[in-house]
Structures are given as structure tokens and as C-alpha cells.
A and B are shown apart, each in its own frame.
Chain A
Amino acid sequence: MQPDLLSCAWLPQPAENWRTVLKALDPGDQDLGWRLRAHAMCQLSPEQSRALGRLQTKALAQGNALQGLTPFRLGIAASDTFAFVTDCLPAAALRHGLALQEIVGDYGQVAQSVLSPQSPLLAARCDAVLIAVDHRWLGLSGSGDGKAENGLAMIEQLAATLRDAHGITAIVQTLPVPPDTCYGNQDVAHGDTPHAQVAAFNAGLVALARRTGAYLLDVARLAALVGTARWFNPVPHFNYKAPFDPSCAPIYADWLCRLIGAIRGTSAKCLVLDLDNTLWGGVIGDDGVTGIVVGQGSARGEAHLALQRTAKALRKRGVFLAVASKNDDANARAPFRDHSEMVLREGDFAVFQANWTDKAANLKAIAKTLNIGVDALVFVDDNPAERELIRQSLPAVRVLELPEDPAWYAWLLEASGWFETVGVTEEDKARADMQAADTARQKILEQTDGIDSYLASLEMVATIEPVSAANRQRVTQLINKTNQFNLTTRRYTEQDVAAFETDPDVLAVCLRLADRFGDLGIVAVMICRADTPVQWSIDSFLMSCRVLGRQVEDALFGTVAALLRDRGATTVFGTYIPTAKNGMVSDLLDRLGFTAPTGDAPYTLDLDTHTPHPTFVRVDLTAP
């Protein structure tokens, strides 16, 4: 049977006692955020999703910080009845690590919600506003030329108003091709048909999104996947003013939340793969390299190969690959070295755990090696018992539910959207190769006798430059993805960052690191704000964990302190905001020479008496 895309087939069915377990959850529980997230990791009905949402609301009202979830306020300006969708949002958001609060504008009042200064949507200080309109609202349902341009102009006005007047990012939707037809097969050849106008609109929308900094929700793609015959079911549209068939609401909600997750950096970062009967057919320990089924010539072999291709493509855009297999190490590595049909090679994996220890321990080891949380892991294993073990022992891991037929493995992994991204930066593309350079650095560390001679031998050069259009995308990505070395964990959109660049009371810089093994790209960001002309505060200080232990933070802070002094500052304040993940910077300000606070006061540093730590990092400064 074909897995049902509409009900999110990559997730398991909810447990029999799902509702009982939910009722037993305590709104005051410190771990409630993590529990809700795990509880949402299954196929849920709109009613079940609403029940999750009610508990979340109750917990927030009691002051529960919901550890493990990233808060996000989403405004919705919709042309149709949107309750079908909002019912499904709590489950979808929790599944993607978000505590979503949605603020829905008045029914059908799309333009008013955005343009009227009295709009409750604008008063709610949303992180983003979704403009959910269809081809009917945009006037593309009949025939006629130039309608796409008019529709685009309307969307552009809304997106630009949100950005310029309110500093809010818009989320805009591509349009599915409606069933409306004028000339049948020839619709596609005539510019004045809804089919052609919608195509022109979608092409224009991509450029519009780039221009206005809006995010794209590709509803056209989603509707094509589920089938536009179902999507445009006319009965619920006429009966309930439903924007699309209500059965599509759970997957629409998941697509929306995976996009928001990508904006906020909650997407997964590492794909953990089992080997036997997952990456190839058969058992390598029994069948040997010549006996396993993989590659062209057999249906099953091609199916396993398709999963390898998907994994390879993910690696190319910066997702880590790892192996977790119950095998002897030498057996497990043999196909990657000796089987000519394999797409994946040994060097593609950042971590290779083939042993007889239980998989939960191996997944923890993988996360630790890569300096990421287990919630950033996606686990793919054909064995239902292993999947269940991980769900039980590490509920934060995203475990892909699989049918018996391997033909669906690659399909379901892609459908899950767990590696959603909003922009692939040069750093992403280079990450896999950087990992190889890391291994080379590790070798040097083992060969040299002291940390000083190791650091000296790296010949590090840091380029510190102001945040600008050239590096804004990567800086925003770091701001949203960095969880561990992050003093305050404040998240900002690209628009927020753009605003910092021109604000005279803000100093925003980033640091690019290179060493003798290669360029590591932009790895650290620091943002300071002027409280008064002589007193500045550290708003954000974050760094990629890939460069931990290399004095990069000392080099960055030393330079920023000098820049602040040039601007006339005498005092710098700092605050550490603890989260579940940033324990490693709890003493950062102490280490940098700040005076520890008494009571609620911030950390303080006197710039007149401050001497920066000497480092092995040579700093090139591009003056702001």
C-alpha cells in the first residue's frame, strides 16, 4: 500500500494511550517542552493537535519556559476560513521544535490586517506574517492578460509594508494551478488562461521574495504532490469557505512549520543511517561485499541506491552523515571501499559507529562528536525494534517511520522535510569538506606535545568585518542555529540584521577564520548596543562549536573592545542568559575579565583598565 502523504506517513501512528498520556502531563513540568515535542512526533488528527495546543497555552500561562522549544509568533492574514489549518498547527510546530503562537487576522480581511495601523496582527509584534491567499483572491480565476502582474503588485505592497513600516518578515505562498480551464490542452500555450497566469505569478513571486526578503512557502509544489484534484475539492470550498480540502491541512501545517523551523534553526543537522537492509539489501556480515544487493540491475538494489543518492545530496548541502550499525567495523566499512555500485563512500561520513553497543549509546556518541544535540539527529533504520528503542530512550531524535518496501525509503526521507533550509550558504556547501580538514587538524593535535604549539602550528588568521549585505545570510543563519556557544540566544531575522548594519547605536561584526588547512568561513558573530554614548552592552555573542578551544572568542572580544573604545565607550555590560544548551558559556564573561554581577546587575568590564588576552589568532580588521 502506498504511504499516505496527507497524514504524514513518515511518522508513526499515535500510541493507543496517546490521550491518556497527554492528560497525565503536568503544565508545570520543567521537561514539558521536550515531552510535548516527543508527543507530537506521530500522525495526529486536528482534534489531537488542538489538545496539544491547549496544554501548551496552559503551560505558558503558568510561566513554564517550555525548554526544548523555540518560541515563534506567527501572524496569519488569510482570504478563507483558516481554522482547519490553525487546528493542525500546534502538533506540526511542536514536531519541529517550536512553541508557536498564532495571531489570526479577521476572516477575509487580508489587506486590512496588514495595512491598517489598528490591526491586531500588527499590535501582536509577530516574528513573521503569513499571507495566505489563493488565485481567487488575487483575481486569477478568470481569463485575461496582466492579472499576474496585478496580483504580484498586491503581494509586494503587503510584504513591503510589513517590512518597511513594521520590521516584520512576510511568508508568501506560490499558487497551485487551479482546475479552471478555457482551452483544455491549449491552456498552457495561451497567456490569458488561469494556468498561464498562475505560472507567471509564481515565477514573479520568487523574484519578489528575493527583493523584499520574504520567505517562500511553496504551496504549488505541495498541492502538486497531494494532487490538485483533491486540493481544489469544490465542496468544502462552497460549504465551509475552506481554502483547500481539509484533509490536506495536517501536511500544509507541517510544511509551514518546517519552514519556520528552518528560519529559526530547528531543522535537523545530521542524518544517521543504519546499514544492513537500509543502505543495501542483505546483511554484510553474512553475505559479504559480493552478496549484498545494491545498485543497478535489481529493483531492490536500485531502491537502496536511491536512499544513498538522497543522503549524498543532503551531504552536499551541509548535512552531516553518520553510520549507526550493529556490525564489526571492518565488515561495515568494506562495501564503501570495495563495492563499485555504492554512491556513498567512507569519506562521506562524519562519524562511523559500527559496533555491538546499543544504538541509543551510538546516537549519543554521534551527537557528542559533532557538537550537536540529539534533537538534531534524524535516524533511518529498517528495523522497527531499533526505531522503537530510539523513540523510547531518546525521544528527541526524529525517527523516520518506514514501510517494509525499501522503494519508499528515499521518498519518505525527502517527504519528512526534516532537513528544511531557507538558504544554502557557501559555508553549508563547504561543510563536508571542512569536516575532512577537521580530521587533519585532529591528527596534528595528537602529534604535537602541547596546546600552545598546536595552536601556533594552525597559523590561524581571523578576518573581522562589519555585518553587511555580503555576509548577512550566513550571519543570520549562525544567529539562529547556534545553540551552545551562545551567550544570550537572541534570534534575529535577516531584516533585523539589516537594520543593525545601519544603526549608529549598534556594532555588529562577524569573524571569518582561516588556518593552514583551509577557510572555515564565518564562524562567530558579536552584536553590541550603546545604552549611553559611553556605556555599551553585549546583545549577542555566539560562535560555531567547530572552532571551540582555539582562542577565537578571545580574539573577537579583544577586537570588539578596541572598536568600542574607538567609539568612546568606557564600560561594557554583559549578561548570560542560560538555556538548556548553552552551559559552556556560563563562565565566558568571567573568563574575558568581566566583574561578576551582584544581584540582578549585569556583568561589567572597565575598558580603561582592560587588557585583552594574547592569542595565537592573527586578526585582520576591516574597519566598520
Chain B
Amino acid sequence: MTEKDILNLIAEKLSDILEIDDLVVTRDSSADDFEDWDSINHVRLLISIETALNISFKSGEVGMIENVGELADLIASKTKSA
């Protein structure tokens, strides 16, 4: 997966979860930029990505993500090794 694919996937899942059509994200986007991106929607996002890519975040990893860029890097590290 290229970084662009990963960002597209994150945007697609976020768009479903936050109910915003054609949502756009960059590496710098974070929960502060979206009113409804609360902790439960954050969990929804992570689980939908885990399901879509058949990967699993390690315990603790999910608490360290600060923005979309860090999430994309984490996903990239897991899809590469798979």
C-alpha cells in the first residue's frame, strides 16, 4: 500500500464514521480538526481499519497516535511486514 492509499482509506473510514461526505485528510489532520472525532469514534476508526486490512494494533500503540500521519505510519509498518 502506498501512503496515498492509506490516507484514502483513513479518509473513507472517517467519512463513514463522522458522516461527512467526501472528507479530506492530510498527514497533519487530527481529532482537533473535527468536532465529532471523539474517543469512541476514534476507536471505531481504528477497528474499521483493523478489519479492512486484517491487521491488529498492539496494546498501547493506539494511545500514542497524535495525528493522521502517525496513524498512517503505523498502518504502513504493519502492512509492509504482512
Contact = CB atoms under 8 A, between A and B. Distances in A.
Contact of A238 (B19, B48, B59): B59
A469 interface: no
Given A83-B40, A238-B59, A239-B59, A246 B47 contact: yes
A46 B40 CA distance: 13
A83 B43 contact: yes
Contacts, number: 37
A246 B62 CA distance: 16
B51 interface: yes
A54 B17 CA distance: 12
A240 B59 CA distance: 9
Contacts of B62: 239-240
B19 A83 contact: no
A519 to B, nearest CB: 54
A236 B43 CA distance: 10
Interface in A48-94: 51, 54, 81, 83-84, 87
For chain A, give the interface size range: 10 to 19
A108 to B, nearest CB: 14
A81 B40 contact: yes
Interface in B19-68: 19, 40, 43-44, 46-48, 51, 56-60, 62
Contact of B48 (A47, A81, A235, A239): A47
A83 B48 CA distance: 13
B16 A47 contact: yes
A495 interface: no
B57 A239 contact: yes
A13 to B, nearest CB: 15
Contacts of A83: 40, 43-44
Interface residues of B, number: 17
Contacts of A84: 47
Contacts of A81: 40, 43
Contact of B59 (A46, A235, A247): A235
Contacts of A239: 46, 57, 59-60, 62
A51 B16 CA distance: 9
A235 B57 CA distance: 8
A236 B58 contact: no
Interface string A225-242: 000000000111011100
A240 B58 contact: no
Contacts of A246: 47, 51
Contacts of A235: 56-59
Nearest to B63: A239
Contacts of B17: 47
Contacts of B40: 81, 83
Looking at A47, A51, A84, A239, which has the most chain B CB atoms within 10 Å of its CB?
A239
Contacts of B44: 46, 83, 87
Contacts of B47: 46, 84, 236, 240, 246
B51 A247 contact: yes
A280 B18 CA distance: 50
A247 B58 CA distance: 16
A61 to B, nearest CB: 16
A84 B41 CA distance: 10
B32 to A, nearest CB: 21
Contacts of B57: 235, 239
Interface string A270-302: 000000000000000000000000000000000
In the complex, which of the residues B13, B17, B43, B48 has the most CB atoms of chain A within 10 Å of its own CB atom? B43
Per CB-CB distance, the 3 closest pairs between chain A and chain B, nearest first, are A238-B59, A47-B16, A240-B43
Interface of B: 13, 16-17, 19, 40, 43-44, 46-48, 51, 56-60, 62
Given A47-B17, A235-B58, 5 more contacts: A47-B13, A47-B48, A51-B16, A83-B43, A235-B59
30 contacts: A45-B48, A45-B51, A46-B44, A46-B47, A46-B48, A47-B13, A47-B16, A47-B17, A51-B16, A54-B19, A81-B40, A81-B43, A83-B40, A83-B43, A234-B59, A235-B58, A235-B59, A236-B47, A238-B59, A239-B46, A239-B57, A239-B59, A239-B60, A239-B62, A240-B46, A240-B47, A240-B62, A246-B47, A246-B51, A247-B51
